[in-house]
Amino acid sequence: MSLLILLRHGESEWNKLNLFTGWVDVPLSRKGIKEAEDAGKVIKDIKIDVAFTSTLIRAQMTLMLSLLDHPSGIPYLTHTGEGKLEEWAKVYNEKTFASLIPVYTSWHLNERMYGELQGKNKAEMMEEFGAEQVKLWRRSYDVAPPEGESLEMTAQRVIPYFEEMIVPHLREARNVFVCAHGNSLRAILMDLMGLNREEIIQLEIATGEPIIYEFKYGSFYRKES
């Protein structure tokens, strides 16, 4: 058996301002920093062997802060495939290397890209386009905002990455920590829970609250806290 920990990043500065964020790379707010630290307390007794996150700073900040005092070791970014960043970051001490938690980053785990809505206020968009239209852009499965991604499009990049890069670690009895975003995690949970397009649009994922699954006999089982 192995464990999968899913965590949505803490509140970002643009979450606080009620702005569409998408791929705009803004940091956590003070509240988001606190949420990340609190999430770390929830998972402090779970051994973590490997971690995955997006290329966006709010997810990376959340992961690092939540693992800052974790007994499994110190998280470090692997920079896989990034040339000198990967090559020159080699650790030559086996004992030191064993004390690290490898962290893999990928754009496949990034938030849904909100296109021309990015940077715009959600309430103002409702005034301009109507609440129903904005709800369609935000919550529907296959309707994309102007020049952006739908949840369906997001799932088409997230799920293959999850199955090809993350699940193999679980099959090898490693506990995996994934820190990502509301929509990339919704895509993963859609896959794990077998949700249809109507069910997934109702799924809400809170910031800074770990979701834990047991992986055994090739299946996922929600672990209640």
List strands edge to edge, sheet with 176-180: 74-77, 100-105, 50-53, 176-180, 2-8, 211-216, 219-223
Asked if 21 contacts 118 with a C-beta cutoff of 8 angstroms, the reply is: yes
How many C-beta atoms surround the C-beta of residue 183 within 10 A? 24
Q: Is 171 annotated as a binding residue?
A: no
Q: Where are the alpha helices (DSSP H) in 82-181?
A: 84-87, 94-98, 122-129, 131-139, 151-161, 167-171
Residue 112 marked as a ligand binder? yes
The reply, when asked if residue 58 is annotated as ligand binding, is: yes
Residue 135 labelled as part of a binding site = no
Confirm or deny that 138 is annotated as ligand binding: yes
Nearest residue to 175 (alpha-carbon basis) of 35, 58, 71:
71
Q: Which of 70, 111, 169, 181 is catalytic?
A: 111
| 8 labelled binding-site residue | yes
Query: Is 172 considered catalytic here?
Result: no
Among residues 9, 70, 108, 169, the one annotated as catalytic is 9
| Cα radius of gyration rounded to whole Å, the chain | 18
Is 186 one of the annotated binding-site residues? no
Tell me if 208 is assigned to a ligand binding site: no
Contact call for residues 144 and 113 (beta carbons, < 8 A): no
Tell me if 164 is assigned to a ligand binding site.
no
Residue type, 12: S
Helix %, strand %, coil % of the chain (to 5): 45, 20, 40
Instruction: Indicate if 111 belongs to the active site.
Output: yes
Tell whether 182 is in a known binding site: yes
Which residues are known binding-site members?
A: 8-15, 21-22, 58, 111-114, 122, 138-139, 182-183
Q: Show which residues are catalytic.
A: 9, 111
**Binding site feature residues for substrate:** 8-15, 21-22, 58, 111-114, 122, 138-139, 182-183
